[in-house]
Structure 1
Amino acid sequence: MGMTVNDYYKILEVDYDATDENIRLSYRKLALKWHPDKHKGDSAVTAKFQEINEAYNVLIDPDKRFEYDLTGIYEIDKYTLREYLARFKGMILTCNGLGISHTSTW
């Protein structure tokens, strides 16, 4: 372990239920701001730019985003309550997320 998993939504500065268009717009803004050509020779900027690209490539692809949303970071101490509820509302609102088993009486 010890592997750090980044919150791609925070990297791209978008909400957890962001549309593809919002993701694209935020990516463009951040890519322009952090592009290595604007910051000659700064390895920290290059690393940030690569992180932004990685986040974008996952969140813009529906299959990768779905997989990330299921297996992304779960370190609840890193979230405010509002962020936690926004991040995990899909799981929270399902029967299994609430610990309710599906029965035919519903």
Structure 2
Amino acid sequence: MESGAEPQKDYYKVLEVDFDATDETIRLSYRRLALRWHPDKHKGNSDVTAKFQEINEAYQVLSDPDKRLEYDLSGSYEIDRYTLREYLSRFKGMILTCNGLGINHPSWSQQLTETEPIDQ
């Protein structure tokens, strides 16, 4: 990373959801946080306005399937930024399934469960 470059924001942390959160979970968390951090409730506080803008930015990306996929695939992830629990929660989809990497091949699971006798 270049010096002075801002690290990529973790939009999942911003919206307080897991990496594999459903669209509905993301929407509900966004609404809850937007109500809590709305600038009208905290008049004159620039930190609250910045937090509200960050929440909106995260929602704009994670609520759009194409932007979310691009974000997930292009993110720069540093292992030391996460506790083990956060790391496993965030990356379990990629760790446990090919679909977590965007690979969807239904016959693979069928092939793994079917075994053919070996001719000797």
Deviates more, 1:81-90 or 1:46-55: 81-90
In the other structure, the counterpart of 2:61 is: 58
Structure 1 position 83, deviation (Å): 1.6
In the other structure, the counterpart of 2:24 is: 21
Q: Which has the higher contact order (CA 8 A, sep 6+)?
A: 1
Structure 1 position 5, deviation (Å): 1.1
| 1:1-106 map, 5 Å | 1=2, 2-92=5-95, 93-94=97-98
TM-score by length of 1: 0.82
TM-score by length of 2: 0.73
Q: In 1, distance between residues paired with 2:8 and 2:51?
A: 14
Structure 2: where are the runs of 5+ without partners? 102-111, 113-120
Structure 1: where are the runs of 5+ without partners? 98-105
Structure 1 position 73, deviation (Å): 3.4
Aligned alpha-carbon RMSD (Å): 1.6
Tell whether the 8 Å contact from 1:59 to 1:65 is kept in structure 2 after alignment.
yes
Q: In 1, distance between residues paired with 2:83 and 2:39?
A: 32
Q: Which structure has the larger Rg over C-alpha atoms? A: 2
Tell whether the 8 Å contact from 1:7 to 1:73 is kept in structure 2 after alignment.
no
Aligned residues: 96
Q: In 2, distance between residues paired with 1:90 and 1:73?
A: 17
Identity of aligned residues (%): 75
Local SS of the residue matching 1:16? coil
